[in-house]
Chain A
Amino acid sequence: MKKQKNNTVFNQLLDEITPVEQHRTDNRMRMATKIDNALKAKGWKNADLARAMDKHKSVITLWLSGVHNFKIDTLSDIEEVLDVKLLNVIKDKSRVVNYFMHIEQNTASLEANSNFSEMSQESFSPTVSESDEGYKLSKNSKILA
């Protein structure tokens, strides 16, 4: 038997499969596996799921075949019927985000600037305003990145 050449159609196809395409297939088949496991855990046959979901048995066979591209609604319904988590959707939680700003200023009197709020209006008048570019300070102040 001759050794297989590297330029076979099989190798060409393998080379053409992108990681994204393979990942999609993996997920489709993993999902079908998860549903089949849930079905077996419940002691159900395909016909039982078909009845519970008011579908033809051939639809269940298709779902389990690993070629079906499920809609979210279908998966939600299967979750309810089989009591299994298929869509691990996590609700967005609000988070506290802290922003820090470093302000550097040239000044003659350190004491006057030891407390930002107590600075005299004559020596420095900080007007902080929000703009598209971020916070801006007036006079000699500057914002360091």
Chain B
Amino acid sequence: MKYKIRKNHKLSGNITGVYHVYINDDHESLFDRFLNENISSYKNELKDIVQRLNTIANETGAREQFFKTKEGKPGDHIEALYDKPKSNLRLFCIRFGQQLLILGGGGVKPKSMRTWQESEKLTTENLMLQELSDKIGEALKEGTIKFSDDYKAFEGTLTFKDDKL
């Protein structure tokens, strides 16, 4: 699978840079797909998520307190935006400190569901981000990408190809 990350300038703010993820040559990011899939049933929840992302980017930064941590493997930075007590949606992301946030996808996770692993959809979305996170980690190690001086952006080649391709 080929992953590309691209900064969303509408959502990025003066405190946090926000990135979208594109799979293969899709024109729709994982985040846009998450919005499209849930707009008809959970519009208010989605609106709230966008509002919170706005605040994170422009006011508070991506502080750990706003996220459910350890949603992926140890050390892969995969977290989920904290969901409201009565909400039904889970949005995964990769968080690098308070300054950089990569928005992944997500899906419906009713309160009756204990963990995301019980949902095939959420598992698929999470595993994709785990793979991307591995590739970003390798690229940072190899030096093909690096953080900008203010840590709000990545510099370098932001396309990550599967080794098997």
Contacts and interface: CB of A to CB of B under 8 A. Distances in A.
B60 A1 contact: no
B85 A33 contact: no
Interface in B17-70: 22, 25-27, 31-32, 35-36, 39, 43, 46-48, 50-52, 54-56, 59-60, 63, 65-66
Contacts of B55: 22, 25-26, 29-30, 66
Interface residues of B, number: 30
A1 B35 contact: no
A2 interface: yes
A36 B61 CA distance: 13
A34 B93 CA distance: 24
Contact of B51 (A4, A11, A21): A21
B35 A9 contact: yes
B32 A1 contact: no
Interface residues of A, number: 26
B82 interface: yes
Name the prevailing secondary structure of the B interface residues.
helix
A3 B32 CA distance: 13
Contact of B65 (A11, A14, A25, A36): A36
A65 B50 contact: no
21 contacts: A1-B25, A9-B35, A9-B39, A10-B10, A10-B35, A10-B50, A13-B47, A17-B50, A21-B47, A25-B48, A25-B51, A25-B52, A25-B55, A30-B59, A32-B66, A33-B65, A36-B63, A66-B55, A66-B82, A67-B52, A67-B83
Interface of A: 1-4, 8-11, 13-14, 16-17, 21-22, 25-26, 29-30, 32-33, 36, 62, 64-67
